[in-house]
Copies of this chain bind each other. A is one copy, B any other.
Amino acid sequence: MPHLIDEAETLLRERGFKVTPQRTLLLQVMAGQPVYLDADEIYGLAYTQDASVSLATVYRTLSLFAELGIVTKRYIEPEHRREVFRLSEGPEQHYLTCVRCGKRVLIHADLLNRMARELVRRKNVSVTGACACFTGYCPECTGDLRRGGELPDHTDGAR
């Protein structure tokens, strides 16, 4: 989506920031990988195209992009060790991480949006952002475990 990149660069200039080769490169890298990546992964991808980029610039750029709304910053691993980023395009993504095989199951935003609306109604708050991380078993592992009798037929488990 070169469109997204152009928009981001226009936004940068409008706000008085400069469009540097590093910034363009990071936009390109992220546009080619529309999933959440951590700073080091983004740095790695960028590095293969330009070995002169530095990790510090990656962090600074991602931070600026997050402020401008160009990227969305999240924490999705169960251990939340690292920040992850992706271009802010399309509906938000949430994940369930399988504790057995490590696979991530994408959870579309509508469920969380419904929850947010309910929250607004019940608590009279407003919601500007949400981060939901589930742990559990992916469909395959759930099937395996049920067949093995290690899981009941229905589990929600979220205390």
Contact surface of A with B, Cβ cutoff 8 Å:
72, 75, 78, 80, 91-92, 96, 98-99, 105, 107, 109, 111-120, 122-139, 142-143, 145, 151, 154-159
Contact = CB atoms under 8 A, between A and B. Distances in A.
B111 A96 contact: no
Given A78-B129, A119-B96, A132-B131, A158 B124 contact: no
A115 B122 CA distance: 16
Chain A residues touching B, majority SS: mixed
A158 B136 contact: no
Contact of A130 (B128, B145, B158): B158
A156 B113 contact: yes
A129 to B, nearest CB: 4
Which of A75, A92, A159 has the most CB atoms of chain B within a 10 A radius of its CB? Answer: A159
